[in-house]
Structure 1
């Protein structure tokens, strides 16, 4: 995973840039069932893509048009850390089970034939812009497997996507704006190796 460092001297410019960037977002999602990573395949164009599917409206949205509001209702305080999952102190958690008022964030392959890709896609977290000291962990609470992590030491820049529909736990360790860039690839039984564009998601935490 590439990493991006923002120097303190650029903070003011970054704030201004984010203010203008925020104007482009057509939708703010602060709660409810949403497939953050909705994988799809266009058989005509032989193209993989990643979108956002909001279950409450049935809408499929471009990631660039969405900001996820990870508000204070997601805040969880812990006395101890869990390596590569949760920090001691404050964490903002998108839970693996549906909870009123919180974002229930998952992924899905319902808009493509996973069998046509041999039953598996490979999703990568290729870039992350995070607040100072902030990390993101996406893990399976039942198995303990870390699926994505922004800290290279956790050795989880990507994961095999084998599920039709899945809800892991998402954790953000510091308040601020996170920009996470994902890409998905696979080998189609007819079309061969295909890779999506790099798709960037914005999460406002705090």
Structure 2
């Protein structure tokens, strides 16, 4: 695309008529310095010389690494954007969904397992192309994220809706539970729209399954209320190219990442990023055993923090407590066994003050994998 810059400078004189000449003669327009004002007007005209095919910049193709479909505030408005971490955690950029293409490579192709619970993907043995719930080298790892929003921005959880899906096949987004049960968020195979409530502070990943190669247009909406109760929402369309050529992403001017997150306690659990694997494993590769963490009902008494947890594997658990953006105290690391639901108690280095709000981060590690859950704890005021 070529840009020709033309600068046009013009001088405008503002003059005033002098008194009528004696004898009724015509007025004389004076151009003397004493009666003349000069105003310079500069007009910059930018003419774009480009063909129709180059009228719009090429989209950024994201084919490998970590990305999130995320909600955040931009200019005081709720926006859906792509949080692009494909270049590393220290080089995150925010992009508009219309400016990117998710590329699902041939390496993501697998088959639907012979499990009745997975019939929503198609017949057993049918081909499916899956962005996996657990990161794999050479395949895009896509999640969703509300960590950039706080209770100062919105009044509570968001409703994430897949409004429509246009493409050569069906698309389903689901999470695989620790015992193999799929938790289906969206499934165009049985009709749309589909919606899911997403708590603040969520960073999660799932399986994005496509039944046929080709290009898909997925229209998503995020909706919630402002702190005052008025509704707010944003709708964007994301392009996904399945089994297309592997293309390295370009790097147009990014929007700097805006830090700041104060998540609230989710009312319904959502699997954290970097945790579970899906039931569909690529042909010839062993399935990866999942590491799943869900945390609910935190409570602090003195220096003891307790919460209900679902942990899929025996893990080493760590707790960090923050207040006003700074680390307030930490919990001693301990081993916890796998359990569908158990009460975990952690001894903290300091007691939590009553009537305060803390951000609690629980992290588990096992077998080189980790899972994290962040939530808000409001301690009761002293009576």
Name the TM tier (shorter chain). 0.7 to 0.9
Of 119, 125, 128, the match for 1:83: 119
For the pair 1:51 / 2:81, whether they are aligned, the reply is: yes
Check whether the contact 2:66–2:84 (CA below 8 A) recurs between aligned residues. yes
Distance 1:118 1:93, change over 3 A: same
Structure with higher Rg: it is 2
Which of 129, 138, 158 pairs up with 1:121?
Answer: 158
Structure 1 residues 111, 75: closer, same or farther in 2, change over 3 A? Answer: same
2:112–2:121 contact (8 Å) kept in structure 1: no
Whichever structure has more helix as a proportion of its residues is 1
Shift of residue 122, structure 1, vs aligned partner: 0.2
Relative to the length of structure 2, the TM-score reads: 0.43
- Aligned-pair distance for 1:114? 5.5
Task: Compute the displacement of 1:65 (Å).
Answer: 0.9
Residue number in structure 2 paired with 1:112: 149
Q: Which residue of 2 aligns with 1:95?
A: 132
Q: CA deviation at 1:164?
A: 1.8
Q: Secondary structure at the match of 2:107?
A: helix
Tell me, in whole angstroms, the C-alpha distance in 1 between the residues paired with 2:63 and 2:210: 15
CA contact (8 A) 1:25 1:64 kept: no
| Cα distance in structure 1, aligned partners of 2:223 and 2:137 | 34
- Structure-1 separation of matches of 2:233 and 2:193: 19
Q: Any idea what SS the aligned residue of 1:178 has?
A: strand
Equivalent pairs counted in the alignment come to: 179
Where does the alignment leave 5 or more consecutive residues of structure 1 unmatched?
Answer: 1-19
Gaps in structure 2 of 5+ consecutive residues: 1-52, 244-383
Residues 85, 138 of structure 1: 8 Å contact kept: no
1:130 to 2:167 alignment? yes
1:195 and 2:233 correspond: yes
- The alignment status of 1:151 with 2:189, answered yes or no, reads yes
Distance 1:152 1:78, change over 3 A: closer
SS of the residue corresponding to residue 137 of structure 1 reads: strand
Q: TM-score, normalised by structure 1?
A: 0.78
Does residue 63 (structure 1) correspond to residue 97 (structure 2)? The answer is yes
- Secondary structure (helix, strand or coil) at the match of 1:151 reads helix
Structure 1 residues 32 and 203: alpha-carbon distance in aligned structure 2, compared to 1, 3 A threshold: same
Instruction: Name the structure 2 match of 1:39.
Output: 71
Q: C-alpha separation between the residues in 1 aligned to 2:82 and 2:123?
A: 28
Aligned counterpart in structure 2 of residue 72 of structure 1, from 100, 103, 106: 106
Q: Runs (4+) of structure 1 moved beyond 6 Å?
A: none
Q: 1:113 to 1:79 in 2, by over 3 A?
A: closer
